[in-house]
């Protein structure tokens, strides 16, 4: 059962053929079918699944090849959403790390697509098809006996809330409060997860930059200074944990759930946030009802391993110790010593031996290799070497998948 000793975060570098077809669609304004995109995606996913299997990874993914951005199209497919292009900057928390990095000060707009609730949110299985299609492409490339290992990444339920000013993630006609909005967000996530479970999914990873932003002093200060906000920044964290727990509350016991605390992995390898996990660790690890925490630990930005002492005995941690931002290959022995150090704190907090604690630890790169479809510093060969190193370290520490 997931998680496995060697993991990766989902996104992988896109092949040129796939990027070229997508560019043709944009330039010529033709449909995906006219450009032959479905066939190209199918071939690309089959190839990337084969690559993962050759390197010894059990939790294979689509590489997020069906997406142009890591959050995909799921929210666009929810009933009641409005897709905005170049939204007014006044809608956003200008201290939110993503917004700080992306806002165009001269134009006073947020570039790219953004989604709000224009009316009551609902789930329609006839429309919510992108995640299902992505899952089915991976399933087509592996034996049915391996379907339970397949991992699908999914954007956090709070993604289109945290970046907006108080009350701006939805129109006044749609919702009167965050509580009403969160209740319906949870319902559509419950429906999406149920649909995917019935299709064979048993392994879901929520990608969540927002949770890592609660570790940022700059974000916490910005929240405090924003007089439009209701409650404290820690009240917001509590609300998001409750939202997660509600969203996953109907998952069957054999559905593995995990959350990746991402610190940003934008074009050119940029990061968006810094700050140790200490300030949120106890609450997060104890109260958030997921099986596994995927944590970025590739640089000093994330602080030390001390917060891992709060990891409950029934939960796992995947240490993201290999960088997807730097081409240089990490020193294998140094990384192994870091894993042992992490195990020391897990053991200290749970009263276990180091060997027992190691059974709840895995290793991975710190983030995906291509959270957006292009513009990253690593080559495909660099990516392969990094993944091979993850597998080698896992074999030498644990000697199991």
SS3 at position 364: strand
Q: Is 377 exposed, middle or buried (0-12, 13-18, 19+ CB in 10 A)?
A: middle
Q: Is residue 138 within 8 Å of 45, Cβ to Cβ?
A: yes
Q: List Cα–Cα distances, 16 to 30, 41, 326, 384, in angstroms.
A: 19, 12, 21, 16
The whole-angstrom separation of Cα 201 and Cα 254 is: 10
């660099």: which residue's tokens? 382
Question: What is the Cα–Cα distance from 155 to 177, expressed in whole angstroms?
Answer: 22
Query: What's the pLDDT score for residue 303?
Result: 85
Residue 128 structure tokens: 């919510």
Condensed to tens digits (0 to 9), the pLDDT of residues 85-128 reads 878 888 999 898 888 777 655 656 665 678 999 999 999 999 99
Q: In angstroms, how far is CA 192 from the centroid of its own chain?
A: 16
Local structure of 119: helix, strand or coil: strand
Write the pLDDT tens digit of every residue in 5-15: 999 999 999 99
Residue 302 — very low, low, confident or very high, per pLDDT cuts 50/70/90? confident
What are the two backbone dihedrals, phi and then psi, of residue 347, each rounded to the nearest 5 degrees?
A: -65, -40
Distance CA 300, CA 217 (A): 15
Mean pLDDT over 326-350 rounds to 97
3-state secondary structure of 316: strand
| Helices (H), ranges, 217-371 | 217-225, 233-247, 278-287, 332-350, 354-358
Residue 262's alpha-carbon distances to 32, 61, 182, 212, 355, in angstroms, are 31, 18, 22, 6, 28
Q: Is residue 81 helix, strand or coil?
A: strand
Give the per-residue pLDDT at 106: 62
Give percent of the chain with pLDDT exceeding 90: 84
pLDDT at residue 268 greater than cutoff 80:
no
Q: Which of 102-116, 157-171, 254-268, 330-344 has the lowest mean pLDDT?
A: 102-116
pLDDT (average), residues 375-379:
86
For range 28-53, the mean pLDDT? 97
User: What is the CB-side half-sphere exposure of residue 91 using CA atoms within 13 A?
Assistant: 19
Q: What confidence score (pLDDT) does residue 113 get?
A: 72
Tell me: pLDDT of 22 over 50.
Answer: yes
361 HSE (CA, 13 A, CB side): 30
Distance CA 94, CA 101 (A): 10
pLDDT number for residue 28: 95
| pLDDT(267) > 90 | no
Residues with Cβ < 8 Å from 44, sequence gap 6 or more? 14, 15, 17, 18, 63, 65
Q: To the nearest whole number, what is the mean pLDDT of the chain?
A: 93
Tokens 């053991």 locate to: 347
pLDDT of residue 61: 98
For residue 270, name the pLDDT band (cuts at 50, 70, 90). Answer: very low
- Min mean pLDDT across 248-252, 268-272, 326-330 is at 268-272
The model's pLDDT over 184-198, given as tens digits with 9 standing for 90+, comes to: 999 999 999 999 999
Q: Determine the average pLDDT of the residues in 358-364.
A: 98
Q: How far apart are CA 282 and CA 298, in angstroms?
A: 21
Determine contact, residues 261/296, Cβ cutoff 8 Å: yes
Domain formed by 16-397, architecture: Alpha-Beta Barrel (3.20)
**CB-CB contact of 349 with 311 (8 Å):** yes
Residue 239: pLDDT band (50, 70, 90) is very high
229/269: higher pLDDT: 229
pLDDT of residue 269: 46
Domain chopping of the chain, boundaries: 16-397
213 torsion bin: left (phi>0), alpha (psi -120 to 50), beta (else):
alpha
Rounded average pLDDT over 72-84: 95
pLDDT in the model for residue 374: 82
Summarize the confidence of residues 230-242 as an average pLDDT. 97
In terms of Cα–Cα distance, which of 13, 10, 2 is closest to 148? Answer: 2
Q: pTM to 2 decimals?
A: 0.95
Give the DSSP per-residue string, 307-330.
Answer: GGGG--TT-EEEEEEE-SS--SPP
Give the residue-averaged pLDDT of 133-152. 97
| Percent above pLDDT 70 for the chain | 94
């Amino acid at each position: 059962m997931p998680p496995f000793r060697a993991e990766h975060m989902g996104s992988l570098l896109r092949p040129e053929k796939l990027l070229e077809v997508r560019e043709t669609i944009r330039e010529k304004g033709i449909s995906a079918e006219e450009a032959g995109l479905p066939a190209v995606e199918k071939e690309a996913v089959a190839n990337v699944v084969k690559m993962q299997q050759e390197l010894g990874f059990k939790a294979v993914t689509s590489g997020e090849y069906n997406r142009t951005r890591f959050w995909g199209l799921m929210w666009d497919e929810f009933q009641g959403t409005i897709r905005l292009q170049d939204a007014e900057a006044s809608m956003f928390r200008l201290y939110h790390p993503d917004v700080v990095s992306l806002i165009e000060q001269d134009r006073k707009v947020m570039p790219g697509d953004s989604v709000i609730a224009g009316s009551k949110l609902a789930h329609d299985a006839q429309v919510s098809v992108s995640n299902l299609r992505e899952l089915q492409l991976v399933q087509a490339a592996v034996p049915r006996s391996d379907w339970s290992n397949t991992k699908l990444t999914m954007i956090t339920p709070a993604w289109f809330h945290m970046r907006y000013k108080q009350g701006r993630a939805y129109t006044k006609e749609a919702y009167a409060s965050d509580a009403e909005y969160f209740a319906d967000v949870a319902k559509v996530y419950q429906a999406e997860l149920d649909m995917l479970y019935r299709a064979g999914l048993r392994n879901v990873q929520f990608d969540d930059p927002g949770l890592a932003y609660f570790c940022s002093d700059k974000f916490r200060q910005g929240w405090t200074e924003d007089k439009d906000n209701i409650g404290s920044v820690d009240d917001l964290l509590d609300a998001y944990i409750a939202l997660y727990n509600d969203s996953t509350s109907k998952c069957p016991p054999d559905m593995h759930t995990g959350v990746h605390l991402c610190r940003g992995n934008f074009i050119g390898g940029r990061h968006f946030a810094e700050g140790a996990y200490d300030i949120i660790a106890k609450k997060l690890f104890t109260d958030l009802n997921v099986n596994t925490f995927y944590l970025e630990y590739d640089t000093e930005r994330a602080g030390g391993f001390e917060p891992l002492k709060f990891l409950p005995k029934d939960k796992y941690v995947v240490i993201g110790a290999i960088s997807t931002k730097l081409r240089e290959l990490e020193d294998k022995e140094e990384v192994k010593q870091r894993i042992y150090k992490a195990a020391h704190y897990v053991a200290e907090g749970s009263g276990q031996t180091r060997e027992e604690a190691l059974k709840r630890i895995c290793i991975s790169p710190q983030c995906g290799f291509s959270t957006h479809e292009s513009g990253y510093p690593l080559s495909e060969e660099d990516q392969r070497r990094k993944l091979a190193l993850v597998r080698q370290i896992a074999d030498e520490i644990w000697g199991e998948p």
